[in-house]
Structure 1
Amino acid sequence: MGQPRVNFCFFLFIIRVLISLQSKEHVLLDMKASGSELGWLTSPNENGWEIVQTVVNSSLLYTYSVCNVDSADQDNWVRTTFIQRRPESSRVSVELQFIVRDCNTFGGASVTCKETFNLFISEADADVGTSFRKGQFRKVATIAPDEVTRGRVPKVNTETRTVVPLSKKGFYLAFQDMGACVALLSVRVYYKTCPSTVQSLAAFPETVADALREVEGVCVKNAVSQTTPRIYCTAEGKWVVPVVQCQCLPGYEATENSCQECKPGYFKPSASNEFCQVCPDNTKSSLAGAAECVCEDGFFRSPSDPLTAACSAPPSAPRDLTSTTLSGDGRLLLSWSPPLETGGRSDLTYSVACEICDESQCVACGEKIRFETGPTELKEPGVVVSDLDSHHNYTFTVEAHSGVSQYGTERATATITTTLDYTNPPKVTSIHLDDRGPTSLSLSWTLSRRPPAHISHHYELMYRKKDIEGESDVTTYTVLILDKNSVQINDLTPDTTYLFRVLVKLSPEAMPGSYSKDQPFHTSALAESQTQNKPTLVMGAVVGVAVILLIVVAVLLLRRRSLCSRGRGGPEDPYFSTDQLKPLKAYVDPHTYEDPNIAIQKFVKEIDPNIIRKEKVIGVGEFGEVFRGMMKVPRKGELAVAIKTLKPGYSEKQRQDFLSEASIMGQFSHPNIIRLEGVVTKFKHAMIVTEYMENGALDTYLKEHDTEIPPYQLLGMLRGIAAGMKYLSDMNYVHRDLAARNVLVNSSLECKVSDFGLSRVLEDDAEGTYTTRGGKIPIRWTAPEAIEYRKFTSASDVWSFGIVMWEVMAFGERPYWDMSNHEVMKAINEAFRLPAPMDCPSAIYQLMLQCWQHDRSKRPRFSDIVNILDKLLQSPESLKTIADFDPHVSIRLPSTSGCDTTMFRSVPEWLESIKMSQYNESFARAGITTMDHVLALRPEDIRNIGVRLPGHMKRIAYSILGLKDETSSLSVFAV
């Protein structure tokens, strides 16, 4: 066989399609645009890379190609010209288009043939011309084709590699061939920017896309914000997660990223993102840009009325005021009808004023009478008045009030004059012993009402000794006529019980009253008087002081007990207090319906399948495939959605289980809960349609962006998950399977809780728990009480949230690593808790530990968690303190030998165990080929090897630290 490189002529007539990416990119080098003026340097000059020209679609193209597949030990290089870097960009992308020939087409030469080539980079502050030294280049990647070319039809491959970090003024790219048959069709070097944009009424400048970068903006005209608007520019050149939103000023509303004046007849009272409103009732039509609408003449707003409330008028006077004498002494019922005109208000109240009038003047009743429900702030049209005297002329004035009564020109009053004419004297209700001695008793008594002041009256007191059985057959009373309601009776017998009764007598023409019931009082004995009179005052003082001390001690003890209960979380489980069991919205378990289809009809919207279009399979669920698709929405165009399907051949039970999740999701409405768009049930193929989350599952997204997202952004994602779980908890709903894999992420990095296949509603019992019906439990995410007793609460969801926090801060690492479920349960019961991930802020790790309290009553509620995360987000400096990191625990290093002290047999095996296999070639090129070499590495050596990402450097450094500890090398885990 002749020189295989001459066969490369097949490339000259089979190139047909070249891919050109159109994007908002700043191109630093474009091989195709340079034409024949490439000027790239090759080494060696002969029998290596060579430039080849061909005509495609009337265009002359130049490519670099090499095809020395029959010779061993090939080392062919081609280097670009000097590429100047923009100072603001430390990251560039290299897009390659190339063709690689299948080695099997070369027969015997396939032994030495390769199907890959290498990409290198060398940074410099100035152009070095034709000086070329291989040692100055560091490897970026090995480039392998997705498809190799076997026949005459070329297979064009496109690969893009990102090069970071760059720090010098410019750089060279170089391509190394080690025995492949390859044609380099296009090399394009560019960097991306996030274009200038207006989002959430804030303008942000064009920003170079580097690592995730926070960018400050300014509010658009006529918009304000309490803090500086911020947004994040991703490495892909996309804006994500606006942190602060601007709001339109009063009198302005948001319209297509700007704030426009409210139209005439509309208004907006405060700075917000709400739309302008039509002027309310009884207001004048406003001018453009109005912050309020002025009331029409005769209409008003109260100081407590919002500017959005309609204006109202004062009420008219109460109607039909009447008085009715009630049974009992001196009581009167005043009643009236509400005003004909309330002015359009519902805060109507009444007040009643009283005067006593004679022929010459009227004076206020004052405290002489009593209104049983008070004289003011009356809600009902009526009031009972008591302690009235007979024969007096009482004038009662009833006034209607509302929030705008003070603005009226006339008082809304109704007046009635009445006389309470009664001759029944008041009754004595009780007699009191004020003092006693051996021969005397001091008494007073209270009346059912005050006797009329203008009518003479006196009291008749009768008393006698209490009869002793067999002593006397005749009862003798002593009668006293008194002018006041108290008396001291002397000349009594010591140590004797007397019975007393009293009646009230008015003028002779008045009806006679009746005596009170007999009440007994006992005179003291002579000895008792002599021995006790002197110390009475002293004993009284001592007893009084003792009572006061007891009261003070009791109050202090109760206060201390209350504070202690509050500090300990109280004796009751905080998750099942009365307040916690009153959700804003009642959740209904679809499994309680005898016919599951009824739950579907009640909670879920039916979608016409004709408006849904499946596009691409994005996953496989329990019941069938999951598609990305589009749904036509009236007046909104097409909306990206996720479509869950039910695989063919399903049973009726499978169909009911499939749709039960939709019945659950249909009852939720929260920005951090996955939104259900609807279901298709009336056709052969059932489907569940939800909103589409572009970035997929949270754990996968974090693994793909390891160490690229700053702690502040991770904290914002956790806050969204916590808010969604608080919403579920407030509805007495337990998720049971909260994990990063069941949280979805959209293009704005908003996190939403999903997957309600395992979740169930809380039963209405004292504990707020339920027992599982046999399903599997995700051990690594489940609280110990839920594992042991199969009972779940919102507190067990809090435990799971702590695990999710750990997953997020560890960028999707598996909780408890490769420990078995049995090992996990044993470790938790022995008080082992996951250690802080690398670079995890101490405040976040302390919250994780609170979520992992063994006593569920001591764990925080989701409302507490949201508040804590909000405070951390408001104080970013609180994230600067990093939790202690123990590499012996966080990165498990399992022994592979089983009996010797060598943990890993090779460097690649060690790198694979810590998920750093991408650096195999870097370690080999640097001569680090044994574990002894690894143990001798210093931190600065790791960077020189080619490890540049800070997170990767730390992971490798911490792992080496763990390797040096012989006691940890064979441990399952160390605490």
Structure 2
Amino acid sequence: MFSGHFLKGAFSFTDIISRVSTEVLLDMRASGDELGWLTWPLDQGEKTGWEVVQRTLNGSQFYTYSVCNVEEREQDNWLRTTFIQRHPLASRVFVELKFIVRDCNSFDGASLICKETFNLYTSESDADVGTTFRKSQFKKVATIAPDEITSKNEMHINTETRVVDSLSRKGFYLAFQDIGACMALLSVRVYYKTCPSTVQNLAIFPETVAGGENQPLTEVSGVCVENAVSEELPRIYCTEEGKWAVQVGQCQCKPGFEEVKDTCQKCQPGFFKAEASSDGCKPCPANTKMMEAGALLCPCMDGFYRALTDPPTGACSGPPSAPQDLVAIPQLSVGKLLLSWSPPEDTGGRTDITYNVECQRCEGTVCQPCGERVRYEPGSVKLTEAQVSVSELEAHLNYTFTVESHSGVSLLASEAYRPPSRSNVTIFLHHTDPPQITTMRLVGRTSTTLSLSWDVSPRPRASHRHVRYKLTYHKKDDNLDKTTYTVLTLDKNSAQIKDLAPGTAYQFRVQALGSDDSSEGSRMEEQFETLSEGTEKKMVAVGVAVVLIIAFVFLFLRRRRTHFLVFQSVAQPTPVGKNLRCIKCTVIYWGSNFQLNCLNDVFLAGEFGEVYRGILKAPGRKEVAVAIKTLKPGYTEKQRQDFLSEASIMGQFSHQNIIRLEGVVTKFKHAMIVTEYMENGALDRYLRDHDGEFSSSQLVGMLRGIAAGMKYLSDMCYVHRDLAARNILVNNNLECKVSDFGLSRVLEDDPEGTYTTSGGKIPIRWTAPEAIAYRKFTSASDVWSFGIVMWEVMAFGERPYWDMSNHEVMKAINEAFRLPAPMDCPSAVYQLMLQCWLQDRSKRPRFGDIVSLLDKLLRSPESLKTIADFDPRVSIRLPSTSGSDGSPFRSVSEWLESIKMSQYSENFTLGHDIKNIGVRLPGHLKRIAYSILGLKDQTSTLSVFAV
């Protein structure tokens, strides 16, 4: 039959093996003679339908289905496959056909009824229906036509692939309908496409069935290979053609691992990787230790460090060596020299080299720091140039200047007990004799006297010989032919000249004498005039009036410039509640009406009186909450002046970290100071109420605000003198503002100036030692107080020096004792505290430096992770196992009371485990836990606690 119509030919079945990523559901060639396909009609009589024909080709046997009824009309021959199980996810399958179709023209007389095409059908089913066959259950897929027709002389094998889509049932059948062709099915192959399992960008994606027409892209989630991580779940898309495309999300090797052939392997010894990335491991930088495999970072070698601002992955550096070639060059100006040096030979691998200059003055065998006796230009610390000008030096003294080299790691090196690198130079300073007169001025005058004084350079020293002066004067009268001179030799730089003529001008000349009273220094001449007799009394009265007017105008202009209100009462006070220190009144300022309503809400007791909360109403402004500070009854006039002087000082300030003055009520029986209202009150109490609730960054942010306010005061030439956490106010935004300026004083427009007091109270625990000993207050003494405030903040309002008496505090400070680091205090913050507590005030940082350092810490939160060493026994005033008299604690209640945790007494009597005693605040829990650490040596106490 069919075989007789084909010429002999050869073809390779390797041509029909698909090379795409597929999963085969049916392969006619692989089934051999066990196809078992169903032909229909089952009984055709003499007609022949589809037949199985065995062929041998190239030594291999294969089977084909053939049909060739070209001479019979109305052919309807069906060939159905066996039941084909479908993959649950394969809704789309491909049917690959290889077949031969005979040219109808090659049949004599049959070309009119011969066909050269056949049809492909499919039918879905959830189970095998066996030999049951119904044409109505089949759906046509396509009409298959050959690309090339086989003739008598040449055979052509056609390959066609059709898609069967939207399959949804458990399986399906394929059927081939012959309608009168002479053809043979050589191969039928049914398959679906998959995207093969793969590893891409360190993400593993499983084998995935390709989507169908309704889902051209299938999203597939992957997992990172071992030791790799991804910020987002890695995803990829499988196309309908079985190809991967468009990956989203990338896996990266963990710190300490790098990518090697789709895996993450540990960094080799001597290499490191600090973070998850696609980068490879890097060799350990200079001056670091060679770590084992899988290193995240390379720590510094002994003697080398990283500064707080250095990246943890960078090289380590050492402190610089000493400056070279230090010389002191005297200048032409008296008491002045130039220190010059060369940079250190070894910079330690850093470029941020700075220099600090120290001075010692020696008289005989006694040496002491120069302190503020000398001046440096541009300064004595953090110099970037290798020279400094020194002035205000005294004669006949040995001066030793020490220049230290510093860099970003010098502080860390000093913590490791490595002294700073320094160079010294000693110079004996002598001045030309005699000293020079610099200024002469009139101190006072009447109608018959003139009081004069003058300055000399260099200044005479008490231990040196007394400098003598020659003062010459005469009447300034050009009409006289003769001039009478009066010459005086004086031992001091001032004189009062008596018995002078009223209303007369006199010419004065003063010179300093040499050691033998023969050599003379430069001259200084000035002219001064006595008062006339008639105007002396009038001048006194006028002078007093002018002074008062100037003072009034000055205060008025200054208050206008700083925009604070002076309230004048136009109504009598109205009592509010039982305690009269509150008023409800209308006040007037420059023609505008203000209303100040005082609420009966005392929230603070101050030195002068109580502080109330109130409401200030003003035209064109919203009602604002204010704090109203009152003066307690029975005050003296001096107390009233001191009370109002605080307001006059506050009125000059305008800074976000300084409490803002709203106004003052003066023309009233009870004077009042009105300021902005700070909701959270005093900082020390607020921190105690929220013990352990703030992070180190939040606490440092509070300190930064306080430091900024103090920098503003220092720049304004003011010394606060009472800086403490109790005098810092906090609002709802945790913004801290400096307040309580009752002890503040101006430093005569010189930030480096000194204010000296002869009496009054001093807050010992917050005051610098030189201010306690000599009552000399400077911005440097405020820096000391700021260090105590830092300790209070980091200790959540703990009392400085605990229960030590003021005498014990002063004794401990003089013996170089400093407060220990509070619990969980960052090391960098505690180091700044210690800098604020340096004995030599010239070495303490300035508030500008403090603000800059706190800003750096806030910009680098990782710098706050290193915690300073904490000794709980010191922090709770050892011996913690004893009371104030040194005897052991007799009960748990007594011990808890000593550490201010008595509220947990009942909890301890019920619980036996510190985790279950009901302490919830982290700060309280730490204080109790660390206190217990101090009790380890007292067995009896431990048995009471049962912990």
Measured against the shorter chain, the TM-score band is: 0.3 to 0.5
The structure where strand makes up a greater share of residues is 2
The structure where helix makes up a greater share of residues is 1
Greater Rg by CA: 2
What's the TM-score once normalised by structure 1's chain length?
0.43
